[in-house]
């Protein structure tokens, strides 16, 4: 009999320090960086974000989100045989944040590794976990998106520092006789490396290059709108579904205007889109599982519904996963 994978629990975690736009505007003004609540809301839809404390690392957020997902699924950490963490802000150069999470959860023995696809990381990680479950390489997986983007922001660059936040989201994905994940579609185009990157790296005990985020926002915006529509249509076609079948679109939360444009192209009302960018900002690989968990815990996203998850980000990477919850 064919094996499928299915999400059996979701969880998330936001660090307690919440900055409204007004709080951030006031902090930035101290160092002479001018921005405003009006500009941020009008151009992005963001009203607030959370920033982790200095002594908190990516695996702390990931572990907290994973514990919530395990509890929701009713699964014991010791039964997890695969942990994938999607992140661009890992605790260390190596080992992987997933190995650190595995230890913090007390879930030894299974496979654990990180996926680096920036804001598409969660859909990449979910697709890999699904494939491993389908082939029998894993039975119960934790798929986590966790980021501390506040560590790589240039707080002198108003075009980027107002956009991002910290947080983590997680799902438990289990083997199932009935299909949960129906189709995935992943892509990358490395010629666009320069439009969204953190170009520095560690070399000989020093940072070579600039270790802060650089983004050509307009170039990213234009590419994002096109590829998100393509990825959504590709997964629908693979699964033999149409956009009318979608109960919830849960896109990467970067900018409300990108989400509105994607919804319009797919002929979906914004009532069918889970929006958390207003409260979380852009949390990169964490944004989709954070939004999913927010939708589930608000009682909007329910078992049996058809969900379209889609991400886009640095690389340039993009992709979508269509699933029955």
Of 98 and 196, which CB lies nearer to ligand UT7 in the complex structure? 196
Query: Out of 68, 255, 282, 324, which one is annotated catalytic?
Result: 282
- Smallest distance, Å, CB 194 to ligand UT7? 14
Helix axes 121-135, 287-297, angle to 10 degrees: 80
User: Is 181 near ligand UT7 (CB under 6 A)?
Assistant: no
- Interatomic CA distance for residues 71 and 95, integer angstroms: 26
- Cβ atoms of 29 and 306 closer than 8 Å: no
35, with CB counted inside 10 A (0-12, 13-18, 19+), is middle
Whether 139 is catalytic: no
Q: Per-residue x/- mask for ligand UT7, residues 258 to 277, rule CB under 6 A?
A: x-------------------
- Please tell me the count of residues contacting ligand UT7 according to CB under 6 A: 21
**In terms of Cα–Cα distance, which of 175, 181, 127, 171 is closest to 145?**
171
**In terms of Cα–Cα distance, which of 79, 47, 13 is closest to 297?**
13
Name the 3-class secondary structure at 227. helix
User: Is 35 near ligand UT7 (CB under 6 A)?
Assistant: yes
User: Is 317 near ligand UT7 (CB under 6 A)?
Assistant: no
User: Is 236 near ligand UT7 (CB under 6 A)?
Assistant: no
User: Is 39 near ligand UT7 (CB under 6 A)?
Assistant: yes
- Interatomic CA distance for residues 53 and 60, integer angstroms: 11
- Part in contact with ligand UT7 (CB under 6 A); list of ranges 72-80, 157-165, 183-191, 198-206: 157-165
Whether 99 is catalytic: no
- Cβ atoms of 309 and 231 closer than 8 Å: no
Helix axes 256-265, 37-44, angle to 10 degrees: 20
Q: Per-residue x/- mask for ligand UT7, residues 8 to 27, rule CB under 6 A?
A: --------------------
Radius of gyration of the chain (CA): 19
**In terms of Cα–Cα distance, which of 267, 220, 241, 222 is closest to 321?**
241
User: Is 71 near ligand UT7 (CB under 6 A)?
Assistant: no
User: Is 255 near ligand UT7 (CB under 6 A)?
Assistant: yes
Of 87 and 282, which CB lies nearer to ligand UT7 in the complex structure? 282
Of 5 and 89, which CB lies nearer to ligand UT7 in the complex structure? 89
Which one of residues 218, 245, 267, 303 is an interface residue with ligand UT7 (CB under 6 A)?
218
Tokens of 226: 């096109």
Of 34 and 55, which CB lies nearer to ligand UT7 in the complex structure? 34
User: Is 69 near ligand UT7 (CB under 6 A)?
Assistant: no
Residues 158 to 177: which contact ligand UT7 by CB under 6 A? 158-159, 162
Burial pattern 144-180, b for ≥16 Cβ within 10 A else e, equals: bbbbbbbbbbbeeebebbbbbbbbbbbbbbbbbeeeb
Of 40 and 183, which CB lies nearer to ligand UT7 in the complex structure? 40
By CB under 6 A, name the binding residues for ligand UT7.
35, 39, 43-44, 119, 158-159, 162, 196, 217-218, 220-221, 224, 254-255, 258, 282, 284, 312-313
């Amino acid at each position: 009999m064919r094996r499928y994978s299915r999400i059996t629990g979701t969880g998330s975690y936001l660090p307690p320090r919440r900055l409204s736009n007004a709080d951030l505007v006031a902090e930035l003004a101290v160092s002479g960086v001018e921005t405003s609540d009006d500009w941020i809301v009008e151009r992005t839809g963001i009203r607030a974000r959370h920033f982790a404390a200095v002594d908190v690392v990516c695996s702390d957020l990931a572990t907290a989100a994973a514990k919530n997902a395990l509890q929701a699924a009713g699964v014991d950490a010791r039964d997890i045989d695969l942990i994938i963490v999607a992140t661009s802000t890992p605790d260390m150069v190596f080992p992987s944040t997933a190995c650190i999470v595995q230890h913090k959860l007390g879930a030894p023995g299974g496979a654990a590794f990180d996926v680096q696809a920036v804001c598409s990381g969660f859909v990449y990680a979910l697709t890999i976990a699904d494939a491993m479950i389908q082939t029998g390489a894993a039975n119960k997986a934790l798929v986590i998106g966790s980021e501390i983007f506040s560590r790589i922001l240039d707080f002198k660059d108003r075009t980027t520092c107002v956009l991002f936040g910290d947080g983590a989201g997680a799902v438990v994905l289990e083997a199932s006789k009935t299909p949960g994940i129906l189709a995935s579609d992943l892509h990358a185009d490395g010629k666009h490396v320069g439009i969204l990157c953190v170009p520095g790296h560690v070399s000989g005990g020093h940072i070579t290059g600039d270790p802060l985020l650089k983004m050509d926002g307009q170039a990213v915006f234009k590419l994002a709108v096109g590829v998100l529509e393509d990825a959504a249509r590709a997964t629908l076609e693979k699964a033999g579904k149409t956009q009318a079948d979608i109960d919830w679109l849960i896109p990467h939360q970067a900018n409300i205007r990108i989400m509105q444009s994607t919804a319009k192209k797919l002929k979906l009302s914004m009532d069918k889109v889970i929006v958390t960018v207003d409260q979380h900002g852009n949390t990169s690989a964490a944004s989709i599982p954070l939004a999913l968990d927010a939708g589930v815990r608000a009682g909007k996203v329910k078992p049996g519904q058809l969900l379209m998850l889609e991400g886009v980000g640095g690389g340039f990477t993009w992709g979508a996963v269509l699933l029955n919850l």
